Amino acid sequence: MDPMFLAYSFFRRRKFEQCVNLCTQLLEKNPYDQAAWSLKTKALTEQVYVDEVEMDEEGIAEMLMDDNAIAQITRPGTSLKKPGTSQSGPSQGVRPMSQSGRPLSGFVRPGTQSGRPGTMEQAIKTPRTAHTARPVTSASGRYVRLGTASMLSTPDGPFINLARLNFSKYAQRPNLAKTLFEYILYHENDVRNALELGALATEACQFKDWWWKVQLGKCFYRLGLYREAERQFKSAMNQMDMVDTFLYLAKVYVRLDQPLTAVEIFKQGLEKFPGETAILTGIARIYEGLNDMENTVKYYKDVLHYDNMHVEAIACIGTNHFYTDQPEVALKFYRRLLQMGVHNAELYNNLGLCCFYAQQYDMTLTCFERALALSTEENASDVWYNIGHIALGIGDSNLAYQCFRLALTNNNDHAEAYNNLGVLELRKGHLEQARAFFQASTVLSPHMFEPHYNYAVLSDRVGDLQTSFSEAQKALTSFPDHADSKDLLKQLKQHFSLL
Amino acid sequence: MTSQSTTSKDSIDATRDDGKWLSAFYDPVASLYTFSQCITLSDINADGDNKLIIADLGTGSYQMKLKVYKGTNLVSENTLIDLPTGVATFYMDQNEPRTPAVAVASGPYMYVYKNLRPYFKFTLPSLEINPLEQDVWNQVRDERIDVGVLREMLEGMRAEGTSLTVRSLRFIQLQAEDLEAFANQYKHTPLKKQTVITSLGTMKKSLAEEDAISCLVLGTESKQVYILDPEAFTVLSTMNLPSVPVFLNVSGLYDVEFRIIVACRNGNIYMLKRGTKNARSCIELNSQPVGLERMGKNIVVGCMDETLQCYTTKGKKLWTIKLPASITSMENVDHKSKGFKAVMVALSNCEVHIYKDKYLVNIIKTEDIVTGMKFGRFGREDASLIMTTKGGGLIVKILKRTAVFEEKDATAGPPVSQNIKLNVPKKTKLFVDQTMREREHCVSMHRMFQHDLYRLRLDAARSYVKALETSMNPVSTNTTEPLKLSAQVQGIGPTFKLTVNLQNTSISTASFNLLITFQFDDRLYNIHKTYIPVPMLVPGLSYAFETFVDCLSDKGISDTIKVFVLRQGRSVPIITAMISMPVSETMVVV
């Protein structure tokens, strides 16, 4: 068989390793074989390619040194940085908050777990595990890891030496330029050189090729030049309507903290491509970021209307039902996920919780057993934490205590478990231990109001009114509508003002 | 007792400041630090133009000034030696033109200015000195006893509750080596006991006219109220109170009949009448007073518990209003040409509420918290409101001539929140079906659940014991070593800072002989201090131990580091913490 044909076949069957090897042999025979060279670059790129629209980790530098911010205090509901301002749906007391001050998402994506830190110290204090650790800038992070991975796989040096390339020569040849560009951007992660090649190539085709404009936009986006990226994407959209371009442009606006404009772009996209789930999901995600649960669920339901196998939509709607006091409906959604073949500890854990709260007791513990069996080091603590809640629900405080301790064993920084242990110790009358647990919990996650409130109650009980007052105030800063904290504060104020 | 409690929360919309006030002047940086007692409005040049006189507390320790504004311009500044506690203007003679004098109370002195020039200084009569104290100091002067004995005697006297002079109090505070010098320096000057003025008021002497001669009324720290003659500056009468007066309200004429209502530091309000030496207790408040005004025959008191209370002069409570924030200042509004009388209350939420009787009739929003207010004639405008703010600003507002205050109870009827429906989700058909299932199979479901529960308890207990055996817990369960460990990693790499927080959670026993060490992959990490000795741990305090960790790999891999807390001589750790190290950042070339 013709080796070139075989290489193509390997490429189409996504056997990139074999494809690369074959191309290398071909190139050894004839170093000027353009087809083989082009195929090899494509295969190498495909090996490390990750869809860029989906992955979006905002680095410390972008968040704290945001030079695109116009106003320090934004109008309510127009910024992703202050998500609490446009609330709809259940309150913080019902649906727990993630560190970013938004409700827990039903589907973990980059940026849903660890939020925007308020201070530099909070930013560099590394969150729970390496999985959620924040990169310094988005230019490092995942790109660097991918880049290093590709370097490891070619021990005898890089396939193309970028320093020796004559970009203007390649820019004249569109058949080679496009694969070379993707190789530089995705495989080598060399944005500067990619941008240079892109600029030359788009000039060579008299600015008539939308593809190059989108690529230039990507480069600008990676370099943090959002306004330039916006211009490129808009210009590309004038020539050709593509879903990808809409998604990228919306991403630019999200980064510029203009969520409403991003939604506007998505809606324009929907006019051109009605029922496009990627766009609908994008809108839902932005609303979720803005804490607007009603619209989020509406758009996720639209997604399901067009694609009823969409895992993210099912999970998010399920979570929303669970927290709006309809666990039996949430159970339906999670069972659907199970039927679709999702099989992990998180899902069984959620199923167990839904069963318990929907009063289907015979299934509850079986689900948790499976969740424990499937759990890894990272999520075992959360499973134990939830079993602890079931134990509290059936009134077995001994089992609850053990479960929360086990949650701590698996994850030393489980602030919620610390808080619940504190409450259990408080009920037993061990005030000193309870105090230590509450303090640990407040240090670990300053965004939670529960440990602050519990500590305030404890201090109030032992007569340390000063601490009680300050802790109740801290609880209110993280959850301004918490009625119990307000009551306590009122009581304390009355106490202070009485003679 | 007819006490009525109403909230002013719901009525706010009805009484918003809908253009009743003209904003005449606002200077946010007037650098005024003063209170209502130190602000007054008076025609001090007898030219028909009322000036604003403010005793400025400066920084609180220096730069105290008496400032006079004509219109919005500062026309004069007189330096004050001590903190002013009150300012009043009064006519002291019958001379033409009728120029009033300005009295400034400050420390034990009363400074009187005329035509803005110092005119007279009145000193409060000094108090009687305890004979024993006098005797002791005399003995020291004659060198019959030494300073150590003096100090002991004075301390003994203070312990008995005797009120001492300032000199003796200062002497007790001194260090042992300074006593001798202090005694030598002061023992030859005669012992004096002075008090300070706490509040200031004026009272017409014999005629009720606008420009009649007035007496000054002073409240002092020595629990007395003095009434001064305006011409000779002699004490006309002295009255005693059970506590220190903080607010005075004077009405009537000295020669005919007068009432002085005094709010005191013990939270009581007393009444003084002509001819009595001692006060009659009138009202016992349940919170400290922060403002006192008289409206007709009633007394309106603002209290620290965010309430405004009204009493009759007999001490009967008429009403109580709960305010939305704490009171910072109070002022009486008496708009004679319209016959409008009300009480103005400045609140700490940047609002000024105006109450006519118990009805909230107007709310003024301000840019800052108002700390001092004065309502009256300013310049040629009859109804002006002067406000000073916490940030040192000066606000002047003028009441519009067309303004009408509606007097109505805006809080009638049920509160608005009663009509809002709670968002309770409906029970779904699914829920009903599932409940049916539960009802039909209740026995088998319960058995299943109990069976699973036993297994789960066993599983949990097994894992728990395993965790205990390996001491894999950041909180010790051992009652003899109650410790709590938490560890944090800071930084972005390749060098991280590892902070280990250790806390002894026992009630009274301290922990000794502990040490911290680490377990890690030495190909990946290098820890600067692998062994950290722990000092004695005092119960309840959190101790932080720090070390640096270098990441040796640039491959973007990470590992866990275990932190052990050990007792010296024992190989099994007491507690362990696992730290998932973050991926180290490498050099980034963009």
Mean pLDDT by 10 residues, chain A (499 residues): 91 91 88 87 85 67 64 69 57 64 66 52 49 49 47 57 79 86 84 89 89 92 89 92 92 88 94 92 88 88 92 91 88 92 90 91 91 87 92 92 90 87 91 87 83 93 90 88 90 84
Cβ distance B556 to A372 less than 8 Å, yes or no, reads: no
| Residue A31: inside a domain | yes
| Residue A115: inside a domain | no
Q: Does B472 touch chain A (CB under 8 A)?
A: yes
**Token pair belonging to B513:** 């002989």
On the 0-12 / 13-18 / 19+ scale of CB atoms within 10 A, B546 is middle
Q: What is the pLDDT of residue A89?
A: 59
Q: What domains appear along chain B, each with residue ranges and CATH number?
A: 19-127+194-377+388-399 (2.130.10.10), 131-186 (no CATH), 483-580 (2.60.40.10)
Please name the amino acid found at residue B389: T
For an interface test with B, the pick among A57, A140, A151 (most B C-beta atoms closer than 10 Å) comes out as: A140
Cβ distance B583 to A328 less than 8 Å, yes or no, reads: no
Between chain A and chain B, the number of residue pairs with CB atoms below 8 A apart is 172
Nearest 5°: phi and psi at B470?
Answer: -90, 5
Cβ distance B477 to A405 less than 8 Å, yes or no, reads: yes
Q: How far is CA B68 from CA A193, B40, B270, B449, in A?
A: 72, 10, 34, 84
Q: Does B488 touch chain A (CB under 8 A)?
A: yes
Judging contacts by C-beta atoms under 8 Å, the chain B residues touching residue A140 are 585-586, 588
Q: How far is CA A17 from CA A154, A186, B51, B424, in A?
A: 12, 17, 93, 58
Q: What is the pLDDT of residue B87?
A: 93
As a whole number of angstroms, the distance between CA B303 and CA B325 comes to 11
Domain that holds residue A29: 1-49
Contact yes or no for A219/A185 (Cβ under 8 A):
yes
Q: How far is CA B306 from CA A56, A493, B108, in A?
A: 51, 10, 32
Nearest 5°: phi and psi at B469?
Answer: -65, -40
As a whole number of angstroms, the distance between CA B348 and CA B326 comes to 6
As a whole number of angstroms, the distance between CA B110 and CA B197 comes to 8
Q: Is the whole-model pTM more than 0.90? A: no
Strand, helix or coil at B27? strand
Convert the pLDDT of each residue in B501-540 to its tens digit.
888 877 778 888 889 999 998 888 999 988 999 998 888 7
Judging contacts by C-beta atoms under 8 Å, the chain A residues touching residue B425 are 324-326
| Residue A310: inside a domain | no
| Residue A288: inside a domain | no
Contact yes or no for B238/B276 (Cβ under 8 A):
no
| Residue A14: inside a domain | yes
Q: At what angle do helices A397-410 and B442-469 cross, to 10 degrees?
A: 50
Q: What is the pLDDT of residue A452?
A: 93
Cβ distance B488 to A432 less than 8 Å, yes or no, reads: no
Q: How far is CA A428 from CA A404, A425, A431, A455, A499, in A?
A: 15, 5, 8, 15, 34
Contact yes or no for A263/A285 (Cβ under 8 A):
no
Strand, helix or coil at B134? helix
Judging contacts by C-beta atoms under 8 Å, the chain B residues touching residue A149 are 556
CA A160 to chain centre: 34
Q: How close, in Å, is residue B62 to chain A by CA atoms?
A: 31
Number of domains in chain A: 1
Contact yes or no for A381/A414 (Cβ under 8 A):
yes
- Picking from A126, A364, A403, the nearest residue to B582 by CB comes out as A126
For an interface test with A, the pick among B268, B548, B585, B586 (most A C-beta atoms closer than 10 Å) comes out as: B585
**Token pair belonging to B203:** 């009272």
Strand, helix or coil at A383? helix
Q: What is the pLDDT of residue A102?
A: 58
Q: Considering only residues 383 to 442 of chain B, which have any Cβ-Cβ distance to chain A shorter than 8 Å?
A: 425, 428, 430-431, 434-435, 437-438, 441
Which residue numbers in chain B have pLDDT < 50?
A: 1-15, 589-590
Contact yes or no for B579/B496 (Cβ under 8 A):
no
Judging contacts by C-beta atoms under 8 Å, the chain A residues touching residue B285 are 499
Q: What is the pLDDT of residue B450?
A: 93
- Picking from B306, B477, B588, the nearest residue to A140 by CB comes out as B588
- Picking from B477, B486, B491, the nearest residue to A124 by CB comes out as B491
Sequence-separated (6 or more) residues with CB below 8 Å from residue A246: A237, A265, A266, A268, A269, A272, A273, A279
On the 0-12 / 13-18 / 19+ scale of CB atoms within 10 A, B482 is buried
Q: Is B527 left (phi over 0), alpha (psi -120 to 50) or beta?
A: beta
- Picking from A144, A324, A329, the nearest residue to B556 by CB comes out as A144
Q: Which of A146, A96, A133 has its CA nearest to residue A378? A: A133
As a whole number of angstroms, the distance between CA A495 and CA B13 comes to 30
**Token pair belonging to A257:** 């903290």
Rg for chain B, CA atoms, rounded: 36
Please name the amino acid found at residue B289: P
Q: How close, in Å, is residue A136 to chain B by CA atoms?
A: 7
Cβ distance B586 to A140 less than 8 Å, yes or no, reads: yes
Please name the amino acid found at residue B182: F
Cβ distance B503 to A135 less than 8 Å, yes or no, reads: no
Contact yes or no for B396/B385 (Cβ under 8 A):
yes
As a whole number of angstroms, the distance between CA A236 and CA A245 comes to 8
Strand, helix or coil at A418? helix
Cβ distance B456 to A436 less than 8 Å, yes or no, reads: no
Terminal Cα-to-Cα distance of chain B (whole angstroms): 80
**Token pair belonging to A74:** 């934004």
Q: How close, in Å, is residue B359 to chain A by CA atoms?
A: 24
Judging contacts by C-beta atoms under 8 Å, the chain A residues touching residue B503 are 436, 439-440
On the 0-12 / 13-18 / 19+ scale of CB atoms within 10 A, B278 is exposed
Q: Which of B216, B268, B211, B237 has its CA nearest to residue B91? A: B211
As a whole number of angstroms, the distance between CA B107 and CA B80 comes to 11
Strand, helix or coil at B483? strand
Q: What is the pLDDT of residue B362?
A: 86
Cβ distance B428 to A326 less than 8 Å, yes or no, reads: yes
Cβ distance B267 to A499 less than 8 Å, yes or no, reads: yes
Exposure on the CB side of residue A461, measured as CA atoms within 13 A? 14
- Picking from A148, A358, A362, the nearest residue to B556 by CB comes out as A148
On the 0-12 / 13-18 / 19+ scale of CB atoms within 10 A, B13 is exposed
| Residue A304: inside a domain | no
| Furthest C-alpha separation in chain A | 100
Cβ distance B484 to A498 less than 8 Å, yes or no, reads: no
Helix, strand, coil percent values for chain B (each to nearest 5): 15, 45, 40
Q: Does B511 touch chain A (CB under 8 A)?
A: no
Q: Which of B403, B400, B401, B404 has its CA nearest to residue B24? A: B400
Sequence-separated (6 or more) residues with CB below 8 Å from residue A355: A331, A361, A363, A364, A367
User: Pairing state of beta strands B525-527 and B542-551?
Assistant: antiparallel
Neighbours of A356 (CB within 10 A): 22
Please name the amino acid found at residue B201: G
Q: What is the pLDDT of residue A153?
A: 47
Q: Considering only residues 527 to 586 of chain B, which have any Cβ-Cβ distance to chain A shorter than 8 Å?
A: 539-540, 542, 554-556, 558, 577-583, 585-586
Cβ distance B305 to A498 less than 8 Å, yes or no, reads: yes
Exposure on the CB side of residue A113, measured as CA atoms within 13 A? 14
User: Pairing state of beta strands B575-580 and B542-551?
Assistant: unpaired
Contact yes or no for B309/B303 (Cβ under 8 A):
yes
C-alpha angle B507-B511-B517 in degrees, rounded to nearest 5: 130
Q: How close, in Å, is residue B541 to chain A by CA atoms?
A: 9
| Residue A20: inside a domain | yes
